A = this chain, B = another copy of it.
Amino acid sequence: MSAGPVGETWETVSWVGDSASGFVRLIDQTRLPTEFVRIDCRDVATVWEAIRSLRVRGAPAIGIAAAFGAVLGGQGMVGGDSDALRKGLRDASEQLRTSRPTAVNLFWALDRIDRVADSVELPADQLLDRVLEEAQAIADEDKAMCRAIGRFGAELLPSGHNVLTHCNAGGLATADYGTALAVIFAAHEQGKSVHVFADETRPLLQGSRLTAWELQRRGVPVTLICDNMAAQVMKEGKVQMVVVGADRIAANGDTANKIGTYGVAVLAKAHGIPFYVAAPSSTFDLSLPDGSAIPIEQRDPAEITAGFGRVTAPEGIAVYNPAFDVTPAALIAGIMTERGVIQPVNAASIAATLGTAGVPH
C-alpha cells in the first residue's frame, strides 16, 4: 500500500478554525500516491495556486476550495466597516475566478459567496462568519449530493459488472465520496461485486495517482490501464458500464470533462457499452445551450514533454494540450445527479429534473 490513511475518511478540503483567523486545509493531490501531505492555505494567493497547479482539482472540490478561499480575502478587515470587508471578499472572488476556466462549479460557488457578501446586512465580523457558513454549506451540501448521486447511480449497476472510469471523480474531486466513484462506492457498500478499470489519464495521471489510490483504500478491486488500452478492454468484453465525472454540462447535456472522455464515449458507443456521467446539479450551466461555448483550458506543454521526472520528447517539439473535451449528449446514456438519473439526456429532460430556474449562473 502507498501513502496515506487506509480505511478512514479524510477531508479533501476543509476550513480549520474561526472565520477571522482560520485557514483552508487541503490534501496536496500532486504528491499522491507516494506522499500524503496536507497544506494549510492562509491567503488567497495560496488557494489560487493550489487550484491552478491541481493540488486541489475536480469540479466540486474546486468550488469548495474557492468558497473557503474567498473567506481568507476578508480576514484582517473584520475590525473595519462592512464595505471594506465586502471589497476584500469581492477582490478574492475575482482573483479566484481566474484560476481555472472550465469547471463551472468554481463560478457557481463564488456566485453564492458574492451573493451573501453583497446582500446580508451585518457588522463586518458577523458578516464574515456568515460568509464562512455559506462556504461550509457548499461543502456540506456537496457531501450530501455525492451520497445521493451514489444511491441513484448504484441502482443502475448490477452486481458483477465491471466499470471503466477516466480521470478522478472520487472523494478527492469533491468534499467526500465523489461523483462517478460514489456510484461504485455505493454499489460496493451494498455488497455488490464491482471491479473497476481505471484509465491512468495522461498527462497528469489522475487515474493512476488518485482513482486507483481511492479505490484501493476503500477495498474496491481496481485494475490500472493506460488510456489507449480502454478500447482493447472493451473489445475483450471486460467492461459493462462507463461512468465519468463532469466539469461543466450545457443545457442540452453536452458534457465537458477531462481530456480523453470524449474518446472513451465514442469507444463505448462502438462496443455497445452504456456511458454515464455522474455530477451534482452545480455542474450544469444552463446559460449555455450546448457544449460549443464551453471554454477549454489549454495547459503547459511540459505536462506532456516532461511529465514525471524525465524529458521524454525532443526539445522544441510542438504540443497540443487541451485539459478537457466535450462529449455530445447523444453519446451519454444518462446523467446521474443528486435529484435522480436524467435519461434520455436532452434539454427537456434536464430542465424537467433541474428546473430552469434551479441553477442560476
Report whether A34 and B311 are in contact in the complex, using a CB–CB cutoff of 8 Å. Answer: yes
- Least CB distance from A185 to B in Å reads 17
- Using a CB-CB cutoff of 8 Å, which residues 223-261 of chain A contact chain B? 223-233, 235, 259-260
List the one stretch of A103-111, A138-146, A206-214, A346-354 in contact with chain B. A206-214
- The main secondary structure of chain A at its interface with chain B is mixed
Report whether A1 and B314 are in contact in the complex, using a CB–CB cutoff of 8 Å. Answer: yes
* Closest residue of B by beta carbon distance from A225: B320
A92 at interface, CB cutoff 8 A: no
- In the bound assembly, the distance between CA atoms of A229 and B312 in angstroms comes to 17
Chain B residues with CB under 8 A of A325: 229, 231-232, 235
- Least CB distance from A168 to B in Å reads 13
Partner of A262, one of B201, B223, B231, B314: B231
Q: When each residue 193-213 of chain A gets 1 if its CB lies under 8 Å from chain B and 0 otherwise, what string results?
A: 000010111110100110011
Q: When each residue 178-202 of chain A gets 1 if its CB lies under 8 Å from chain B and 0 otherwise, what string results?
A: 0000000000000000000101111
- Least CB distance from A175 to B in Å reads 22
Report whether B227 and A314 are in contact in the complex, using a CB–CB cutoff of 8 Å. Answer: no
Question: A228 with B227: in contact, given A304-B200, A316-B216 (CB under 8 Å)?
Answer: yes
- In the bound assembly, the distance between CA atoms of A208 and B305 in angstroms comes to 8
Report whether B208 and A320 are in contact in the complex, using a CB–CB cutoff of 8 Å. Answer: no
- Least CB distance from A274 to B in Å reads 17
Q: When each residue 308-324 of chain A gets 1 if its CB lies under 8 Å from chain B and 0 otherwise, what string results?
A: 11111111111111100
Interface residues of A (CB under 8 A from B): 1-2, 33-34, 166, 197, 199-203, 205, 208-209, 212-213, 216, 221-233, 235, 259-260, 262-264, 266-267, 269-270, 304-305, 307-322, 325
Q: In the complex, given contacts A216-B314, A228-B259, A263-B267, what are 11 additional A-B residue pairs having Cβ atoms less than 8 angstroms apart?
A: A1-B316, A203-B226, A205-B312, A223-B318, A227-B227, A228-B228, A229-B260, A229-B321, A263-B263, A308-B312, A309-B310
Between-chain CB contacts (< 8 Å), 20 pairs:
A33-B313, A166-B228, A202-B228, A203-B226, A205-B312, A208-B304, A212-B313, A223-B318, A223-B319, A224-B305, A228-B259, A229-B322, A231-B260, A231-B262, A231-B266, A232-B262, A232-B325, A270-B270, A308-B309, A308-B312
